[in-house]
Structures are given as C-alpha cells and as structure tokens.
Amino acid sequence: MNYVGIIGYGHMGSMLVRGFLASGVLCIDEVVVASKSQRSRDACAAAWPGIGIAATNRELARRCRTIIIAVRPQEMRSVLCEIFPVMDGDEHIVSLAAGIGLEDLEAAFTGSVTRVVPTATSTVGRGTTLVCHGRQIGMNDALRVEGLFSSIGDVMLVEEEDLPPATLLSSCGPGLLAAIIEELAGATARASGLPKDQAVLLATDMVTATAAYLRETGEAPGDLIEEVATGGGVTEVGVEKFRERLPAVFDEAFAAMLERYGAVGK
C-alpha cells in the first residue's frame, strides 16, 4: 500500500492529518505520523485511534512512499539527513518548508520532490495550497499529491520563482487580512459605542460576504468600489483616504516580508 507519512505533528501536520482523514481522501490505516516529542505522538494517537505512529522519522521513511515533511525550515536538514539513508529513491518527498528550494532537495535526493504551501485557513477546507513540483516528478505522484491537498481547499500549481510572492498572498494573507479586520473593527469601536467584539464580528462577516460577492458575480474589486463608493458619498471619502496611504503601506509590508522570506531556512 502507498502509505502517506507526515513528519511533524504541529499546527500544519495536525491540520493535514485532520483534513485528509475528515475529507475521506485517506483512510486511517493509510497514514503514518512521526513527531519529535512523545507528547505529540501520543496526542496524535489519542485523536486518531488506529493511525500509524512511527517512533522515529527513519521508521516512517521505511514504511511510507509519500513523505510529507511539516517541520520548521531550520529542522528540515536534520530530518532529511535522518531519513535519506533508508530511502531508495522511489519515494516522493513533499516539503512544506519555506526557504528550502527544489534544487536543495534534488541535490540530496534523486526521487520525486514537491514543495507545497498550505494555509492556516485549510483548517476549514478553504484557501489555496500552492504546489510546485520538482523535475523528476511523474504524473502519478503529481496527481496524488494534488489530490491530497485538494481535499483541504483549492490547489494552484506555481513556478518556484513565483512561490515567495504567492506565499505572501495565500499563506501569510490570512494573518494580514486578520490584521486589517482588527483595524476596521478598532476604528469602528473607537468612533462609536459599539463593543470591540461586536465590531470584530461585523467586520469578519462583511469580509466573508464581500469575498463571496466578488467570487459569485465575477466582478473585479474596482467594479465593486465604483458601485459602493458613489460620487460625493460616504464610502468615496474612505476609499480616497485608503488610496492616499495604503499603496505605500502595502508595498513596504511586502518588501519587508519578501526580505524575511529570503532569510528563512538560511
């Protein structure tokens, strides 16, 4: 059987286990998990009775053909060094680690390699996992990994050079948008007697509804702005203020994030 191994039962690893099993894309006896601490391995075994637990990464690598590595970038090299000696090159390594390029992975491993970038919103089956396959990937491995990640949201294939900016949008984006929701709600609460938690609820609902509206109608954001921000109206004043200051704020934030991204895993 083509077992799927997940190394690292942290935020992402546990989200993947839950997503793959809850969606039915994998059965419990098709998944093996390894994590550094006994505590995480016990937590996984307790949450998913019947799941395979490997005492070491090496044991997992011996048992699985598809090996998803969900550890932090700085842990990646030691995990790879641990598993490579027991691999025969027929496996498929799927790495979540930012900053570890396909070239690095392929220099050390001759088999199939894929980089994936899920997002925190995959927890609720929404959002896009970015997928970037290596040169050695075969059709079956590519379809298998894309199918797995389609079970937790959408999948978008990207070129590796586009991975950093796409990651900022799809994977850092939920954090950025949450910060914007906080600001919108904060401004509302400061300007009124509305309690902050009520303002947060209102802002979150408005963001969800706006995204659904744009998706369902196919309208561009600019069209919606024109519809809502009628000449001389209230929204227009706010949009003008945003347009004065926000492009510079966003460019600055993106430049800083890209710089940090480039330093991850070094």
Q: Which residues would be at the binding site for ligand NAP (CB under 6 A)?
A: 7-13, 34-37, 40, 57, 70-73, 75, 78-79, 96-98, 117-120, 171
Q: Are 196 and 189 in contact (CB under 8 A)?
A: yes
Residue placing its CB nearer to ligand NAP in the complex, 53 or 200: 53
Residue placing its CB nearer to ligand NAP in the complex, 73 or 164: 73
Q: How far is the CB of 224 from ligand NAP (least distance, A)?
A: 28
Q: How far is the CB of 173 from ligand NAP (least distance, A)?
A: 10
Residue placing its CB nearer to ligand NAP in the complex, 151 or 199: 151
Residue placing its CB nearer to ligand NAP in the complex, 117 or 137: 117
Q: How far is the CB of 248 from ligand NAP (least distance, A)?
A: 27
Cα–Cα distance for residue pair 213/222, rounded to 1 Å: 13
Q: How far is the CB of 245 from ligand NAP (least distance, A)?
A: 28
* 3 state SS of 124: helix
Cα–Cα distance for residue pair 82/102, rounded to 1 Å: 19
**Counting beta carbons within 10 angstroms of the beta carbon of residue 33, is it exposed (0 to 12), middle (13 to 18) or buried (19 or more)?**
buried
Q: How far is the CB of 81 from ligand NAP (least distance, A)?
A: 10
| Torsions phi, psi for 154 (to 5 deg) | -90, 160
> For ligand NAP, which residue has the nearest CB?
10
Cα–Cα distance for residue pair 241/231, rounded to 1 Å: 15
**Counting beta carbons within 10 angstroms of the beta carbon of residue 217, is it exposed (0 to 12), middle (13 to 18) or buried (19 or more)?**
exposed
Residue placing its CB nearer to ligand NAP in the complex, 100 or 203: 100
